[in-house]
Amino acid sequence: MKQVYLLDTNVVSEPARPQPEARVLARLKRVDGLCAIAAVVWHELRYGVERLPDGERKQVLARYLAEVVQPCLPVVPYDEHAAFIHVNLRLDALAAVGGARQLPFVDGMIAATALANNLILVTRNVADYHGIPHLMLENWWTADG
């Protein structure tokens, strides 16, 4: 099955929250098998868990990554094509408004991965990606998401 959606870190983390947003959970269920994550998102998830102090929360999240995320969400690499797109995104952001708005490096990697693979980026933080040409975005926390 071909992936359609590239999930940002906040989407993948939502089911593990103490009170996850029902809309996001329902949407994840509906699109099961159509989602992937960027390599840098996998890094953010693993890094976040490894930084936690030893304890139950860390164990629960590590198990979630190993038993749910890793087997269910393919990791899309940040490859040469994505890197080329990322360079242009950074240059465009630098040129826009006299360089006043810099695209955070990791967000640029995620956006470039989505663009390179023609995937819809799903995130709660749509403002972080505002103004990126041709980037398809969805926010599953909103009613129209």
Q: What pLDDT digit, counting tens, does each position of 129-142 carry? A: 988 999 999 999 99
pLDDT, residue 131, reads 84
- Whether the per-residue pLDDT at 125 is higher than 80: the answer is yes
Phi-psi region of 32 (alpha: psi -120 to 50; beta: other; left: phi over 0): beta
Domain 5-78+118-138 has CATH 3.40.50.1010: yes
The Cα–Cα gap between 94 and 74 comes to: 32
Coil, strand, or helix at residue 8?
coil
Q: Domain map of the chain by residue range?
A: 5-78+118-138
142 vs 120, 125, 126, CA distance in Å?
Answer: 16, 11, 11
Element (H, E) at 29: helix 22-30
- Whether the per-residue pLDDT at 100 is higher than 80: the answer is no
Output the six-digit token pair for 108: 């640029």
